[in-house]
Amino acid sequence: KADELGVTVSFTKAFVSGEAFPPSMREAFAARGITAYQAYATADIGLIAFETPAREGMVVDEDVLLEIVRPGTGDPVAPGEVGEVVVTTFNPDYPLIRFGTGDLSAVLPGASPCGRTNVRIKGWMGRADQTTKVKGMFVHPGQIAQVVRRHPEITRARLVVDNPELNDRMTLMCEVAGGGSESLATAVAATIRELTKLRGEVAFLPAGALANDGKVIDDVRVYR
């Protein structure tokens, strides 16, 4: 926006969170003289881990206890193995014990070269389930099931999330017997927006076109 307005931004440091922070975006910040660091946080916990100038993983905040567990079991994984991030915080106003974030990560060996000695993690490595985050909003398989229930013309559906030109996009691929109409597409898109608070596109497929693999949300975003 600053480029569009021809304005020179005055800040030189940024602490960002809420969505993935790919190298291309980091480079865009740097080209404008802004040194950006990424935080890993959730709405329930707050800050969990953060980048340091060393840029080697994320240092876990000292006010939380972090575990990496096997998704769906709660059992700790071997050091360095990827698993679900589980966090405990003893905040007297809002304590959480072994809160499953649904995010994947892994513990890094040793201490950070920056001098901080707390545990480090690799950062966000994806979701432990089919829930995904689009433009800062979580999208759940249950929401896609609700869309299908509201439109009986749809026999099966899968939400594909991609990011052409680094812009998140949702497309609901719908199997519809006999093909779908423009009015149905408009109605389905309105339901998607109502349930997810996000805009989604709709594509119709013939019966049997979707793979029989149980996948409801397919996040195929690539970050470069």
- CB contact set of 39 (below 8 Å; sequence gap of 6+): 15, 16, 17, 47, 49, 50, 51, 58
When mean pLDDT is compared across 66-70, 74-78, 104-108, the lowest value belongs to: 74-78
When mean pLDDT is compared across 9-18, 43-52, 189-198, the lowest value belongs to: 9-18
> What's the longest Cα–Cα distance across the chain?
63
- If you average pLDDT over residues 185-191, what whole number do you get? 98
When mean pLDDT is compared across 37-41, 55-59, 207-211, the lowest value belongs to: 207-211
Q: Distance (Å, rounded) from C-alpha 21 to C-alpha 156?
A: 33
Say if CB 88 and CB 64 are below 8 A apart: yes
Confidence (pLDDT) at 214: 65
Q: Is the pLDDT of residue 82 over 90?
A: no
Q: Which residues of 148-183 are buried (b: 16+ CB within 10 A; e: fewer)?
A: beebebbebbbbbbebeeeebbbbbbbbbeeebeee
List, in order of start, the domains of the chain with CATH numbers: 2-129 (3.40.50.12780), 134-219 (3.30.300.30)
- If you average pLDDT over residues 22-34, what whole number do you get? 89
- If you average pLDDT over residues 88-112, what whole number do you get? 93
Confidence (pLDDT) at 72: 66
Question: The pTM is what?
Answer: 0.60
Q: Distance (Å, rounded) from C-alpha 131 to C-alpha 192?
A: 15
Q: Which contacts of 18-21 are long-range, i.e. CB under 8 A and separated by 24 or more positions?
A: 18/136, 19/133, 19/135, 19/136, 20/124, 20/221, 20/223
Alpha carbon of 169 to those of 165, 175, 191: distances in Å? 10, 19, 16
